[in-house]
């Protein structure tokens, strides 16, 4: 029997909240799918659209960007900037015809280990029926 | 060999050639382009110039040289990649574009023979079409030792005689294509030959643009290397790749290792077109750039075509197709530049 | 219509008074229908200038070259450059000012209004006049162009030959200028985003098929980038050399450079290039349509930029190029920015 498709998710997590949130999920031994490759960045505001495009280009089936809740950013405004930028890239990805389910953004605080696991579980569930992402994957 | 072929039997001939990859000009959006087809009805010989010349088939913009993989440490596997063995026929090649291939033949066929280029070149048969009326407003083949019915570089040349084509073959490769459909080709009548003559004389007259006294240009260019002329002429240039990428004679390339996986390291060595008009073309790794501005880059384009190439191969590296003129986004006109060069200082 | 004589008079005047270094305007082309850039230094050369609805190019692009040249000069001439600007071009000036790429005193703007019309699309025009040489282009104020060729006059409805961008232009007169020629008259348009709404209404897969077909044609000649007044980076992420190398750059730094986009003109790399360019132009593109005009493969690049222009307007109430003092789109935010897409 063919193995079930396991999507690869690249998650850009800000160090102060979302990454800490995912750590909490880990140390609390919460169970969640192993499909995520987390990449810790200093702040959601530091995520260049190029990171997102590169992740898709190197074969990510889904990309998650996650930062502190509005008002909680360690650098005060980073996540507000991120919110604008990500809204635009989100629209652009949709416009060129990438399935909208493949790109997500979330606010996850250091205390929200459970929310993080929920997000990942849902993300995996939504990606499975889509199959592998080949549209933006490198075809060199 | 001289023959005639009725227009109606063209698709029947092509049907016999389906073991080859067949290319024909096709209209895409607002321009024309050579595209592979397996439908004999698609062949279209009544078209203006294509944006990209058949150079893109013989010397593709991207060529894979080899593949590498470093899965076993210190013992990388390297696999040579050669162009696929598949004979091809390109229909509707303009005489200027075919002639351009005789120049790239020289460049890729000197002491070192470029196997990638020659593999494609040798397995491709070029079926040309005479330009009874110039396909472009900026055609000037006649000024650079060409003609709208030049046979240079072609295997077969077709000339539209109304309801039939006059067919001339110049090589074994060309004859072979005719032999595959012998019954379709008839011997030309005296009238056909007379019509051909007349069309040819007319076709040359219809070419509007020209360079006068082109012979004066190379010696003049030799003196103009340091001239402020280039600053003036390049003012509006954008340093894009259009004039060179689309030129059928331009042949500069770059070679890069493109990585598809970083652990284990996997990738391909790839040749891509490159152009003297890009600022990073001559960029040294020290940060020094010997051609630092637009002026030196425009000068390079003109000097390469009308001085260095002439010195080396006794021909202008230009076949008068007019692409660089018509497609330059800011209207830089090669012929105007050359006129000014010829008259510079006099 | 703006009178060419008035334009010449202004140009001559500022050159005579030594107010400007030189003037960038339009002159007749030697080989095509559309006038080409003219760089005019002497008052006598002013006669070369032309102005009519075939003056499509956005000349603000040359301020980038001017700036590069100036930084190399030991004793730069500090006088401004005279520049002929249409509505869209003037909005590009505002962006360059907003980003402090130029200062207001670097330019002397000869604003020309498109007065109810706009400029022509060369390809559309060529099809209509079938290879004739154009002698004169006039607008009859009733939404028709009168094109005079050696065969006589033809009347063509404006919407059939106007450049795509002009069909959707929201301000067809200069918004910043030193002299203004012509009236600030606005042509009314029903829906400025009509063209992209057609694509938006397609399904995800149809949109993908559309873009894949279009972007696969790209040969990465970078004419779209080179012609754009906003693409002024010294090094673009799409170049093989992805950061400015100087004599001090160490070998290690060079080895660690990231190649975001490979040189191979294949689908994946073409998409990254074009998406990055679109994102980098979000809130900056003023829709002069030059990228699309320059593209030799007729890739509808305007759609990418228009899409983000539309989103900027709808999501953030942002419009590019009208106010040089407003912060740029992605260097500001509002508390109420939408976040319904965030979990
Ligand atoms: S096509 Fe024109 S603008 Fe582009 S590099 Fe050539 S001369 Fe310059
Ligand atoms: S230099 Fe220009 S006209 Fe000559 S062959 Fe090349 S593209 Fe054609
Ligand atoms: S886009 Fe507007 S301002 Fe620009 S040329 Fe067209 S009508 Fe004029
Ligand atoms: S101008 Fe067209 S072909 Fe050239 S890089 Fe831009 S999109 Fe690609
Ligand atoms: S530090 Fe978490 S979003 Fe800025």
Q: Which pLDDT value is given to residue C243?
A: 59
**Do residues B44 and B24 make contact, with C-beta atoms less than 8 angstroms apart?**
yes
Share of chain A above pLDDT 90, in %: 95
Residue A58 lies in a domain: yes
| Dist CA C210 CA C304 (whole Å) | 12
Model pLDDT for residues C294-303, shown as the tens digit of each residue: 999 999 999 9
Task: Note whether B34 and B24 are within 8 A (CB).
Answer: yes
The answer as to whether A15 is a domain residue is yes
Specify the pLDDT at position C263.
93
Interchain proximity B51–C297, CB inside 8 Å: yes
Nearest ligand atom owner, CA of C2: 3
- List, for residues C32-53, the tens digit of each pLDDT value: 889 999 999 999 999 999 999 9
The residue segments making up the domain with residue A35 are 9-130
A139 domain-assigned: no
Query: What Rg value do the Cα atoms of chain B yield, rounded?
Result: 22
- Pocket residue to mutate for ligand 3, from C114, C116, C124, C180, most atoms within 8 A of Cβ: C114
Mutate to test the pocket of ligand 2, among B94, B211, B318 (most ligand atoms within 8 A of CB): B318
Q: What is the pLDDT of residues B328-342, one digit of tens each?
A: 999 999 999 999 999
C41 contact residues in B (CB cutoff 8 A): none
pLDDT tens per residue, range B93-123: 999 999 999 999 999 999 999 999 999 999 9
Cβ contact, residue pair A97, C333, below 8 Å: no
Q: How many Å apart are CA B134 and CA B137, to the nearest integer?
A: 7
Residues 6+ apart with CB under 8 A from B250: B244, B275
CA-nearest residue of chain A to C331? A81
Instruction: Write out chain A residues lying below 8 Å of B258, CB-based.
Output: 140
Ligand sitting nearest the alpha carbon of C294: 4
Q: Would you tell me the crossing angle of helices B115-122 and B95-108 to the nearest 10 degrees?
A: 140
- With beta carbons under 8 A apart, name residues in chain B contacting C264: 62, 258, 270, 272
Bridging pattern class, strands C107-112 and C81-85: parallel
Listed by number, the residues of chain A in 15-44 with a beta carbon closer than 8 Å to a beta carbon of chain C are none
What are the phi and psi torsion angles at B200 (to 5°)? -65, -45
pTM listed for this prediction? 0.95
CA A84 to CA A86: how far, in whole Å? 5
What does the pLDDT read at residue A9?
A: 98
User: CATH number of the domain that A77 lies in?
Assistant: 3.40.50
Q: Which residues line ligand 2 (CB under 6 A)?
A: B 247-249, 305, 318-324, 334
Q: Give the residue-averaged pLDDT of A54-82.
A: 96
Please indicate whether, in this complex, the C-beta atoms of C205 and A100 are within 8 angstroms of each other: no
8 A C-beta contact, residue C200 and residue A95? yes
Q: Give A 55-84 residues with CB within 8 A of chain C.
A: 57, 70, 77, 80-81, 83-84
In this complex, do B267 and A138 lie within 8 Å of one another by their Cβ atoms? no
Residue A3 placed within a domain? no
Q: How many domains does chain A have?
A: 1
Contacts of C276 in chain A (CB under 8 A): 49-50, 53
Q: Ligand 3 center to residue C177 CA distance, Å?
A: 15
B79-90: average pLDDT: 96
d(C-alpha C236, C-alpha C248), whole Å: 20
């Amino acid at each position: 029997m063919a193995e079930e498709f396991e999507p690869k998710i690249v998650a850009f997590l800000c160090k102060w909240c979302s990454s800490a949130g995912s750590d909490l999920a880990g140390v609390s031994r919460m169970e969640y799918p192993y499909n995520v490759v987390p990449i810790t960045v200093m702040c959601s505001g530091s995520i260049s659209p190029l990171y997102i495009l590169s992740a898709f280009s190197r074969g990510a089936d889904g990309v998650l960007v996650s930062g502190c809740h509005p008002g909680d950013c360690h650098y005060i405004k980073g996540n507000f900037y991120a919110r604008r930028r990500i809204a635009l890239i989100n629209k652009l990805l949709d416009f060129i015809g990438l399935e909208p389910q493949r790109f997500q953004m979330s606010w996850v605080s250091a205390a929200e280990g459970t929310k993080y696991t929920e997000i990942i579980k849902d993300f995996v569930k939504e990606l499975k029926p889509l199959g592998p992402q080949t549209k933006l994957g490198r075809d060199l | 060999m001289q023959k005639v072929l009725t227009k109606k039997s063209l698709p029947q001939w092509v049907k016999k050639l389906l073991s080859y990859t067949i290319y024909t000009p096709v209209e895409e959006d607002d321009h024309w382009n050579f595209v592979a087809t397996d439908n004999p009805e698609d062949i279209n010989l009544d078209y203006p110039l294509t944006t990209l010349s058949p150079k893109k088939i013989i010397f593709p913009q991207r060529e894979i040289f080899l593949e590498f993989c470093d899965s076993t440490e210190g013992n990388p596997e390297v696999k040579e990649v050669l162009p696929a063995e598949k004979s091809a026929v390109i229909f509707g090649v303009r005489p200027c574009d075919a002639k351009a291939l005789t120049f790239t033949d020289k460049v890729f066929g000197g002491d070192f023979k470029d196997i990638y280029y020659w593999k494609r070149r040798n397995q491709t048969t070029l079926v040309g079409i005479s330009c009874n009326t110039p396909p472009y407003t900026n055609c000037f083949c006649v000024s650079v030792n060409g003609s709208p019915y030049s046979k240079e570089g072609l295997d077969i040349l077709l000339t539209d005689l109304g309801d039939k084509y006059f067919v001339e073959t110049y090589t074994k490769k060309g004859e072979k294509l005719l032999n595959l459909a012998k019954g379709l080709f008839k011997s030309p009548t005296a009238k056909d030959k007379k019509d051909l003559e007349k069309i040819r004389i007319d076709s040359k007259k219809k070419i509007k643009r020209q360079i006068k006294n082109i012979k004066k240009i190379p010696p003049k260019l030799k003196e103009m290397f340091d001239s402020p002329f280039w600053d003036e002429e390049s003012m509006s240039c954008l340093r894009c790749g259009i004039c060179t990428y689309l030129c059928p004679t331009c042949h500069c390339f770059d070679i890069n290792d493109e990585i598809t996986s970083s652990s284990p390291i996997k990738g391909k060595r790839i040749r891509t077109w490159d152009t003297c008009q890009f600022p990073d073309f001559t960029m040294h790794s020290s940060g020094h750039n010997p051609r630092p501005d637009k002026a030196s880059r425009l000068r390079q384009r003109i000097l390469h075509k009308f001085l260095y190439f002439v010195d080396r191969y006794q021909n202008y590296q230009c076949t008068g197709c007019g692409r660089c003129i018509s497609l330059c986004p800011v209207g830089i006109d090669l012929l105007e530049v050359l006129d000014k060069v010829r008259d510079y200082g006099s | 219509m703006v009178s060419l004589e008035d334009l010449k008079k202004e140009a001559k005047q500022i050159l005579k008074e030594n107010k400007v270094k030189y003037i960038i305007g339009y002159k007749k082309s030697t080989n095509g229908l559309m006038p080409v850039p003219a760089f005019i230094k002497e008052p006598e050369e002013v006669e070369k200038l032309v102005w009519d609805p075939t003056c499509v190019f956005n000349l603000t692009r040359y301020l980038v070259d001017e700036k590069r040249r100036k930084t190399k000069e030991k004793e730069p001439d500090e006088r401004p450059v005279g520049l002929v600007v249409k509505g869209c071009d003037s909005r590009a000036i505002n962006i360059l000012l907003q980003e402090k790429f130029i200062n207001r005193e670097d330019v002397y703007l000869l604003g020309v209004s498109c007065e109810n019309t706009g400029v022509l699309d060369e390809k559309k025009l060529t099809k209509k006049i079938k290879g004739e040489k154009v002698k004169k282009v006039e607008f009859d104020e009733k939404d028709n162009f009168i094109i005079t060729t050696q065969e006589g006059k033809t009347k063509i409805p404006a919407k059939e030959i106007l450049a795509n961008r002009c069909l959707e232009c929201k301000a067809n007169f200069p918004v910043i200028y030193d002299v203004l020629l012509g009236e600030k008259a606005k042509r009314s348009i029903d829906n400025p985003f009509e063209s992209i709404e057609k694509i938006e209404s397609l399904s995800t897969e149809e949109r993908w098929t559309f873009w894949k077909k279009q972007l696969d044609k790209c040969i990465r000649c970078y004419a779209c980038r080179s012609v754009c007044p906003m693409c002024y980076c010294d090094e673009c992420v799409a170049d093989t050399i992805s950061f400015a190398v100087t004599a001090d750059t160490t070998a290690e730094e060079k080895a660690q450079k990231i190649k975001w986009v490979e040189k191979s003109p294949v689908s994946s790399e073409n998409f990254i290039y074009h998406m990055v360019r679109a994102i980098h132009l979000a809130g900056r593109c003023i829709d002069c349509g030059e990228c699309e005009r320059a593209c030799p493969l007729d890739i509808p690049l305007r759609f990418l930029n228009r899409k983000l222009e539309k989103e900027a307007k709808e999501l953030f109430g942002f419009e590019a190029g009208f106010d040089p003092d407003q912060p740029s789109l992605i260097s500001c935010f509002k508390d109420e920015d939408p976040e319904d897409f965030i979990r």
